[in-house]
């Protein structure tokens, strides 16, 4: 299949591109490189540097595609709090633009990267797809609005919409600024021999899912006419930030007492864990154990820190 990946030069996108190529698909990448890196995209692939919002310009360079995987986004919860209009532009207008482009390019499916942030601080754990969404952050709200557009277009005869609500994704190539960046922040501090900061009391918990599992979800049964609507993608396992830090210090051979505390972040959710029964029925199962994923992530940061010094 011919697949357009928006945000393909970013953290998750570059892993999705690798997974698509391994399955033998033809891939086109679009990214404005605002946060992505050109070097993460294989030089042999067609690459369009453009803002997703300018779809009437960039579709001329693409040609027909079967599927669009839409990952391009402003991913910082904190940045969205400081500049909600800019978040609306990239994450809402950008998604509407990609849906228009997908229709014009003849795509039969749009696969959209949403987030557990759409649930807000819903106290039910684990959260299922039909639980109430009440986002607490502009970022979560804009992802939720994006989901509505994806489903709206599908109802109106546009490409079928498959929405993946991602838990906290971690892995090699992650930046420390994005959503779920705590693993990256810990890995970077450990690789530099510095003590990291835990925001809040450390008892908040998250469902950490490895980027290789997420890439498998994005490439799972592409174009499957049975697939539609929302799928939670996580591990169904909660890990507190304290536990995460202890695990990471252990894989790095560091002292877990060497940590500092800072204020909680605005819009941060207390506990987040996703139920993945629907994804399981669809045939998706996370495979990467947390400790193994953390070790590979730490090793990647050690390489990056060495390369930059």
Ligand X SMILES: NC(=O)c1ccc[n+]([C@@H]2O[C@H](COP(=O)([O-])OP(=O)(O)OC[C@H]3O[C@@H](n4cnc5c(N)ncnc54)[C@H](O)[C@@H]3O)[C@@H](O)[C@H]2O)c1
Mind telling me the catalytic residues? 139
- Select from 113, 254, 259, 276 the one that contacts ligand X (CB under 6 A): 113
- Select from 9, 99, 249, 294 the one that contacts ligand X (CB under 6 A): 9
Shortest distance (Å) from residue 123 CB to ligand X: 20
Q: Which is nearer to ligand X, 35 or 254 (CB)?
A: 35
Instruction: Tell me how many residues contact ligand X (CB under 6 A).
Output: 31
Shortest distance (Å) from residue 30 CB to ligand X: 6
CA dihedral angle for residue 78, residue 274, residue 190, residue 178, rounded to 10 degrees: -30
Tell me the C-alpha distance between 217 and 211, whole Å: 10
**146 forms part of the interface with ligand X (CB under 6 A):** no
The piece of 172-180, 219-227, 277-285, 295-303 that touches ligand X (CB under 6 A) is 172-180
Let me know the angle formed at the C-alpha of 118 by 112 and 123, rounded to the nearest 5 degrees: 140
Shortest distance (Å) from residue 94 CB to ligand X: 5
Which of helix, strand or coil describes residue 279?
helix
Site for ligand X in 52-111 (CB under 6 A): 52-53, 71-75, 90, 94
**244 forms part of the interface with ligand X (CB under 6 A):** no
* 112 to 135, 278, 299: CA distances (angstroms): 18, 16, 30
Tell me the C-alpha distance between 105 and 66, whole Å: 8
84-105 b/e (C-beta count within 10 Å ≥ 16 → b): eeebbbbbbbbbbbbbebbbeb
Residues forming contacts to ligand X in the complex (CB under 6 A) are 7, 9-13, 31-36, 51-53, 71-75, 90, 94, 113, 115, 166, 168-169, 175, 178-180
């Amino acid at each position: 299949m011919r697949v357009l990946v928006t945000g393909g030069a970013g953290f998750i996108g570059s892993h999705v591109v690798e997974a698509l190529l391994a399955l033998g698909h033809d891939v086109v990448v679009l990214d404005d490189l605002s946060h992505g890196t050109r070097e993460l995209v294989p030089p042999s692939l067609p690459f369009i540097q453009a803002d997703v919002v300018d779809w009437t310009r960039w579709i001329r360079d693409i040609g027909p595609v079967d599927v669009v995987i839409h990952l391009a986004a402003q991913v910082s919860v904190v940045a969205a709090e400081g500049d909600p209009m800019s978040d609306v532009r990239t994450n809402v207008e950008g998604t509407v633009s990609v849906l228009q482009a997908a229709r014009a390019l003849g795509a039969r499916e749009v696969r959209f990267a949403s987030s557990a942030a759409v649930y807000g601080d819903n106290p039910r754990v684990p959260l299922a797809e039909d639980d109430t969404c009440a986002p607490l952050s502009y970022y979560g709200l804009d992802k939720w609005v994006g989901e509505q557009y994806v489903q709206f277009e599908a109802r109106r005869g546009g490409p079928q919409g498959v929405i993946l609500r991602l838990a906290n994704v971690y892995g090699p190539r992650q930046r420390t600024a994005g959503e779920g960046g705590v693993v990256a922040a810990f890995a970077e501090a450990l690789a530099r021999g510095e003590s990291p900061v835990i925001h809040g009391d450390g008892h908040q918990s998250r469902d950490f899912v490895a980027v290789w599992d997420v890439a498998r979800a994005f490439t799972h049964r592409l174009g499957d006419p049975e697939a539609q609507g929302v799928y939670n993608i996580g591990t169904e396992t909660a890990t507190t930030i304290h536990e995460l830090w202890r695990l990471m210090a252990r894989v790095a051979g560091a002292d877990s007492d060497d940590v500092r505390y800072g204020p909680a972040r605005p819009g941060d959710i207390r506990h987040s864990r996703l139920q993945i029964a629907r994804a399981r029925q669809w045939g998706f199962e996370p495979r990467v154990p947390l400790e193994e994923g953390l070790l590979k992530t730490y090793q990647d940061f050690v390489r990056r820190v060495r390369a930059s010094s």
